[in-house]
Amino acid sequence: MSIVLFILGLIIGSFLNVCIYRIPEGISVVNPRSFCPYCRRQLSWLDNIPVVSYLLLRGRCRYCGEKISIQYPLVELLTGIIFLLFYVKFGVSVKFILFVTISSLLIIAFFIDLKYMLLPDVVIIPSIILSAIYGGIYGFPHNFITAGIFTLIFYLLRVIFKGGLGVGDIELIFIFSLMLGLYGTLLVVIVSSLIGTIYGLYLIKKGRAGMKTKIPFGPFLIGAFILISSLNIPIFYLPH
């Protein structure tokens, strides 16, 4: 079963790549079929096998020879691993389905936020709906109370510090609260702030950013959420 779900994760990851590339460009995610972003030639199924095609083609397009971004096999591999980790943690269950679906949507959000500094509604709104279903089944009413409190705190922080936190970041906190409850969400906030600060300091030290440079916070929140919710570590398992 693990191997089946890992391969399913790889295939879903391949579709996530399509979404990451096409959603900001406003192209349909199902039509046309996969094409090379440089020469626009349509790709056959042989060039579309997750990870394997990238390795066989040595990271270059079969037709024009342009380099294919390492992001493609990485997203596929990452999604496969996430499917595996959630399977180990939850087995095949409703929890598994909701966590892998929301994580997949958030992987799309991660890369789009990184590149364009925005969290698209097409992935955030379904995530909110699914997390509300999760919270309704497994965390009612405490996860909803947590969500209310966290949203209010982050909204106030946004008003006080004018900017910094985007509306999308607050939506993410809302989703995480519904999924993880108080304890898990606190962990996500702490871990993402820590990593975000270290990354910011690193950029400043390298001279690639100043105190005023804007860095999207969404990817850090999403990274911390997926890390904390998928790992099978008892400390991350405590009460919802």
CA terminus-to-terminus distance, the chain: 28
Residue 50: CB minimum distance to Zn ion, A: 18
Residues comprising the chain, all counted: 240
Residue 36: CB minimum distance to Zn ion, A: 3
Would you say 41 or 214 has its CB closer to Zn ion? Answer: 41
User: What tokens does 222 get?
Assistant: 């999403």
Residue 64: CB minimum distance to Zn ion, A: 3
Q: How far is CA 9 from the centre of its chain?
A: 14
Taking the C-alpha atoms of residue 46 and residue 33, their distance in angstroms, rounded to an integer, is 13
Chain position carrying tokens 């364009």: 116
Would you say 7 or 64 has its CB closer to Zn ion? Answer: 64
Would you say 64 or 204 has its CB closer to Zn ion? Answer: 64
210: helix, coil or strand? coil
Would you say 34 or 193 has its CB closer to Zn ion? Answer: 34
Would you say 61 or 147 has its CB closer to Zn ion? Answer: 61
Would you say 36 or 49 has its CB closer to Zn ion? Answer: 36
User: What tokens does 118 get?
Assistant: 């925005």
Contact footprint for Zn ion (CB under 5 A): 36, 38-39, 61, 63-64
User: What tokens does 63 get?
Assistant: 């037709």
Mapped to the 3 state alphabet, what secondary structure does 68-80 carry? CCCHHHHHHHHHH
Residue 183: CB minimum distance to Zn ion, A: 48
CA neighbor of 151 nearest in space, from 140, 141, 161, 143: 143
Orientation angle between helical segments 71-90 and 2-22, nearest 10 degrees:
140
User: What tokens does 112 get?
Assistant: 């789009």
